[in-house]
Amino acid sequence: MATSSGPAARALAYLESRRNLTGCACGLAGLVAVFGGLAGAYWPFVVVGLYGAGALLAPPERTAPPLFAGPAGPGAELDAVRADFAALRGYVEALEVPADATAPAAELDGLLAALLEPGWVAEEVSADPEAVHILGRAVRTDIPEAFDAYQRTRWWARLQPGADSAEQHLRRQLELLAGELNTVASAVHEALERRQRTHTTYLESRAEPQEPPGTG
């Protein structure tokens, strides 16, 4: 879920944004007032001020979460989660993730990529239906909701600032989700260790000397 956007792309996106268009509309209203003789000698400040007010008050563009494929059959469920994770990555890359949330977002991305790795890792995860459920819930519900709520809330915070910022909530949510996925990884690791210990015990029992029949 890495984020990438160049200055030129951001500038173009701003020119096409609702915020810029609303500011231009308010600035145009200021020009109408100037030509109507209502602004006086301070007309440049009136036009700039109206543009700024419109740009600040306009709701920002919000990137909607992707539409996921949803649950599949038991055998193909992890493949479906992996495909939805690819869509989730594209969604997050298009967002402007705050600096406070960059580290937990990167940790969460790494955990999901590791747990959904095709091959023997996926086989181990698939053996635990609860682990598959947690991964699917994180990819399809929890992470998209965290970023979508952040996009919605950060604009309202400008009008009604509160004690907890939208950035703080997003960071905390991603940290909690990373902790949950770390628990899944630990459970898979413990299952592998148990299997290894069981096989060691089995081989040791075979190596123990057996008493010949009819003795004792």
Asked if the model's pLDDT at residue 27 lies above 70, the reply is no
Tens digit of pLDDT for each residue in 50-67?
A: 566 555 555 556 677 777
Of 29, 64, 61, 62, residue with least CA distance to 47: 29
Q: Is residue 5 part of a domain?
A: no
CA distances 100 to 48, 117, 160, Å, are 32, 28, 21
Number of structural domains found in the chain: 2
Q: Is residue 216 part of a domain?
A: no
- Does residue 91 share a domain with residue 122? yes
The Cα 197–Cα 190 span in angstroms is: 10
Of 142, 165, 144, residue with least CA distance to 153: 165
Of 105, 97, 21, residue with least CA distance to 59: 21
Q: Are residues 93 and 1 in contact, defined by beta-carbon separation less than 8 angstroms?
A: yes
Asked if the model's pLDDT at residue 13 lies above 60, the reply is no
Q: Is residue 29 part of a domain?
A: yes
- Does residue 103 share a domain with residue 45? no
Model pLDDT, residue 208 = 75
Tens digit of pLDDT for each residue in 185-211?
A: 998 888 888 889 999 988 988 887 766
Model pLDDT, residue 163 = 63
- Does residue 181 share a domain with residue 120? yes
Q: Is residue 165 part of a domain?
A: yes
The Cα 109–Cα 147 span in angstroms is: 14
Residue 81 sits in which domain range? 74-206
Q: Are residues 112 and 139 in contact, defined by beta-carbon separation less than 8 angstroms?
A: yes
